[in-house]
Amino acid sequence: MPATKFICPNGERVPIKECLASCKQKERCMFLPTLRAVAESLDRGIKEATVTEVIAGVRETYLKKTTAYAVDPQSVLYSLHGQAVHTIHEGHTSGEILGEIRLKDKVTSGKFDLYGKIIDEEEGVLGDLKVTSSYKIMKALGIYKVDVPTGEVYKSGARKGQSKTRKEFRYDGVRHVWDWAVQLNYYRVLLEQAGFAVNRMFIQAMCRDNSLRTAAERGIMKPVYIIPIHRISNRWLERYFGKKAKLLQQAMKSKRLPSPCSLKETWEGKKCLDYCDARENCPHAQELALLKEQKVI
């Protein structure tokens, strides 16, 4: 089921319908049309698990589909930014470009963003639009910093005699694009099953904090980056999506809570503590929250 409550700035939880009908606070935290848009974005009316839901942890998806949970509407605004970007592109495609079409197979369904002549004159290019952080883009581009000696030494203080260094960017690091690559590759599979050849794949990543100093400190100097995505074995994709979809189906049928999400799926626990919408209904997330409160972790 979709989220049923909004979390107010003071921490109070209010049913979404009640919030939209009348605000209990002195004044609304956002314009009413914005809150309506947030509410609509939380319920897409899709019964089967989507590509992005299958990629997420099975427990997370199960809890979001079967339990009532609350969200802070201000934390959902970035997803509205993404929807706005998609809407803008919809008005500028032509007969050579397809977009925003949902395809499905026996495992899952997914809506690709753009397909066709989207980057040059080559046919069969699949593209996905992302509005994300400079940190995510930095990791996706393989950017990192190294200390480079300046040739000088400290002449006084605790570091007297030690070499001075400066930070320099390197652009040959590991490209952390696993989740984007898996998502885009399954869209490719769905397109190919429908008879459309996919020759190349790209992510167009828009940096939502590009004007801030932190972005420059991460080596992100532009608002938009085009990131190539390589093909993943169809056999691997079929096994990965098939296994996770089966686990979710079994949990939904038996109404039994699946095993905790993996460390990778939870960003090594960070998602459980602060970002998973269903964390209040997850025993593992609650256990982590208690340990954090006790300063054990």
Six token digits for residue 74: 């201000």
Query: pLDDT class for 226, splitting at 50, 70, 90?
Result: very high
Of 45 and 150, more confident: 150
So what's the pLDDT on residue 47?
79
The answer on pLDDT for 79 being more than 90 is no
Q: What is the pLDDT of residue 296?
A: 80
Mean pLDDT of 232-256: 96
pLDDT at residue 81 is higher than 90 = no
The residue-averaged pLDDT of 233-259 equals 96
123, amino acid identity: E
Long-range contacts of 188-191 (CB under 8 A, 24+ apart): 188/126, 188/231, 189/105, 189/234, 189/237, 189/238, 190/103, 190/104, 190/105, 190/109, 190/110, 190/112, 191/103, 191/112, 191/115, 191/126
What are the tens digits of pLDDT across the range 114-143?
Answer: 999 999 888 999 999 999 999 999 999 999
Q: Say how far apart CA 283 and CA 262 lie, in whole Å.
A: 14
32 pLDDT band, cuts 50/70/90, is very high
Q: Which residues contact 66 (CB under 8 A, 6 or more apart)?
A: 1, 252, 255
Q: What does the pLDDT read at residue 121?
A: 86
pTM for this prediction:
0.90
**Mean pLDDT estimate for the chain:** 93
**For the segment 82-112, what is each residue's pLDDT rounded down to a tens digit?**
888 888 888 788 778 999 999 999 999 999 9
Residue 84 is predicted with a pLDDT of 85
- In Å, the largest CA–CA distance within the chain is 71
* Type of residue numbered 156: S
Rounded distance, CA 107 to CA 77, Å? 30
- Tens of pLDDT, residue by residue over 53-70, are 999 999 999 999 999 999
218-223: long-range contacts, CB 8 A cutoff, minimum separation 24 = 218/134, 218/135, 218/137, 218/138, 218/143, 219/138, 219/141, 219/143, 219/145, 219/169, 219/171, 220/134, 220/137, 220/138, 220/143
Q: Give the closest residue to 185 by CA, choosing from 84, 54, 86.
A: 54
CATH code for 77-244?
A: 3.90.320
Residue 1 confidence (pLDDT) above 80: no
Calculate mean pLDDT across residues 29-51: 89
Highest mean pLDDT among 71-75, 137-141, 147-151, 289-293: 137-141
Q: What is the pLDDT of residue 48?
A: 82
Task: Report the pLDDT averaged over residues 182-190.
Answer: 98
